[in-house]
Amino acid sequence: MSEEASMWAQATDTKSTPFSSPNLHVENLPLPPSFTWGAATAAYQVEGAHDKDGKGPSIWDTYSHLTPSRTNGANADVTCDQYHRFEEDIQLMKELGMETYRFSISWSRVIPLGRRGDPVNEAGIAFYNRLIDALLQVGIRPSVTLYHWDVPQALYNRYGAFLNTAEFRADFERYARLCFSRFGDRVKEWVTFNEPYIISIFGHLNGSLAPGHCAEQGTDTVNEPWRVGHTIILSHASVVKIYKEEFFPEQKGEISIVLNGHFYEPWDTGSEVHVEAARVRLEFYIAWFADPVYLGTDYPAVMREYLGERLPSFTEEELELLRATRDINTFYGMNHYSTKFARQLTDPPAADDWTRNIEESSVNSAGEEIGPASSMPWLRVAPEGFRKLLSWIWDRYHVPIVVTENGCPCPGEEDVNIAIDDQFRQRYLGLYLDSISRAISEDGVKVVGYYAWSLMDNFEWSSGYGPRYGLVHVDFETLKRTPKNSAYYLKETFQERRKKA
């Protein structure tokens, strides 16, 4: 048994739990011939060239240079340097059989100051044109995210970015129009925002991500996260309306949003209180955004009841916009990594509580773990939860699902040999692809694509360069790229799974 296999065995040596596959055995189940796959990245995490060719600073450029450091002593000034090495990366993608590359555009690279009326940086436009053209030349479809957490610092300085709904919405509309007009003749899959839950909670409540708002800093964490979420929902709706009316007739592309979320199991299945907590946690996490976007409705009633005036209200005009644009969202972008237990607490909650006083953990009331741990303690291998979440989303919204992010960092991956022979990751990916197959064939869920996170090891936000999620290993001293065995595994497994269908 290899060192990595031994590590997996130790990780799975926990009490048996009804919420995980009993033996976590990969079956290599079939996927439809039309099923597409690829990998994903985000601009700030991989591009580097943070101040080159006219690019302006983003809130992540600022946040990653704070003293004392809040990003594990690291920043993404260079990171993978994809800005200068994208041709090498595209050649790797081609060799690995990838069909789609999901990446994001850096707003401050194309409009350095960010605002409507501010100058466009043609050097930034030219970079993304080269990237898109190079992808298409080798038959890889670009999937483009407009916003992956890196708002121009100038907008934050001017009006607090998401905290001013009217100003941000107008500036985001101008930025989106620019991208549609310059790239939309070749880009046929658009995402407006990546993970608004993370932007709202991690950026504007617990402060672990840029811009780092938290109670200790003196910001209004009671109300800010809900205002931020409200701004994102309305900005998204405005932009999909613009795309449908002004660009779709000629460009014929698709557009939607990407929402992240764990699945939740009750901490104690014998208690109705905890069963309800699992349901409520899904609504606070996912339906917060998905109900207005995909159903064209108000926020979930359970949120409105608990949060009261903390939760902004939609005007009748805004509700009409949501109703008018819900069907324009032609797919559900789903980022998913793991499953947790939900436990209803009874102690009085904090004033800025955002969960309805529900605690989430990896261990239930019987001491059973939800699944083996990756190198990130919160990220457990729980493929059955993934299948359940696919069904929950399909049953509630009935929109084709693209899994826009899924992956894990391996235990022990600081050892380059384990990093390359990443058996833990291969097992994780195989199990989660099996869950997609079961969701399609047995549960009737329409899942149409899968983008692994991530194409390559990169700057992992507040964790710096610690955890490695990549299919391609990056030596951050030399920037040498080396495909891991999981990359070859995905190439082979997709070929085999689609042949079986």
User: In the chain, where are the structural domains located?
Assistant: 3-500
* Cβ 478 vs Cβ 484: under 8 Å: no
Coil, strand or helix at 398: coil
User: For position 24, what pLDDT does the model report?
Assistant: 87
**Dihedral angle sign, alpha carbons of residues 125, 130, 136, 142:** negative
The active-site residue out of 195, 265, 369, 460 is: 195
148-to-123, 260, 388 alpha-carbon distances in Å: 20, 13, 27
Active site annotation includes 405: yes
Task: Tell me the β-bridge partners of 255.
Answer: 190, 329
CA angle, corner 271, sides to 268 and 274, nearest 5? 65
Task: Tell me the β-bridge partners of 447.
Answer: 401
User: For position 20, what pLDDT does the model report?
Assistant: 41
| Tokens describing residue 264 | 């939740």
Using CA atoms, how far apart are residues 36 and 470, in angstroms rounded to an integer?
19
Q: Write out residues in the chain with pLDDT < 50, as ranges.
A: 1-21
DSSP state of 169: H
Beta strands in 287-337 (DSSP E): 332-335
User: For position 501, what pLDDT does the model report?
Assistant: 86
CA atoms within 13 A on the CB side of 234: 25
| Tokens describing residue 23 | 């033996």
- CATH classification of 3-500 is 3.20.20.80, yes or no? yes
The active-site residue out of 4, 189, 384, 405 is: 405
| Tokens describing residue 200 | 């709202």
User: For position 23, what pLDDT does the model report?
Assistant: 62
Using CA atoms, how far apart are residues 26 and 384, in angstroms rounded to an integer?
12
Using CA atoms, how far apart are residues 41 and 55, in angstroms rounded to an integer?
19
Active site annotation includes 195: yes
